[in-house]
Amino acid sequence: MVNRQRAQWASAVCAVVWSVVVLWGSPATAASPELKGKFEVLKGEVSTHTPGKVKLIEFADFYCPHCHRFDGEGLALLQKEFGNKLEATMVGFPVIHGKLPTPFDMYEQAKMMGKGNEMKAVLFRTIHTDKVTGVLDRSLREVLIKEVGLDPKAFEEGMASGKPAKIFEEGRKWGERIKVQQTPTVLIDGNIKAETIDPENLKLIIQSILDADKKK
């Protein structure tokens, strides 16, 4: 059962060509002898690591079912395992064709108002559990905004400013720069790109980084 679950995680991705693909990770050359797992160290990308804490960036599409699953299961496992030693953030990277960017803008606006994680969970649930895949119009947005505890008027004013859309676009360009080809894709500490989203592989990478910190 465990092996089957790991195989499912290794293949759970949405492709940029808007089809589901299987991501088979191959062993990568480690950044240092202490680091373990399957990953690629990205040339030209600067490490954002601070001792004792690992930063995980999840490039994800709100309309991608595998992103929904990873966020609710895989990421939850990692957060339970590492607690405040893991700082996880999502960067919107759309791969599903024909969808409006509204959820991504809503997420960025909620992040600026201190409710990013709450909005992310609500948006994933709305799209994948409640099956609301059409336009998130203003009346529906108001319900979701209130659900996460934010003021709809202030929220919509922030959306109208264009700042969330700008942040989203910057994140999308970042993903293109590091050649994100499927979602979810995980980037660790700014320059370590995980070759599989299997939580066991991610745990191995993260733990080896934290263990290396202890030796310094």
The rounded distance, in Å, linking the Cα atoms of 130 and 146 is 17
Low-confidence ranges of the chain (pLDDT < 50): 1-7, 10-11, 16-31
Give the CATH number for residue 72.
Answer: 3.40.30.10
Does any domain span residue 6? no
pLDDT at 24: 30
Does any domain span residue 204? yes
Number of other CB atoms surrounding residue 103 within 10 Å: 25
pLDDT at 4: 47
Does any domain span residue 13? no
- The parent domain of residue 88 ranges over 34-214
CA angle 158, 163, 14 (to 5 degrees): 105
* Model confidence pLDDT, tens digit, residues 7-18: 455 445 565 433
The rounded distance, in Å, linking the Cα atoms of 115 and 112 is 8
pTM of the model: 0.84
pLDDT at 12: 54
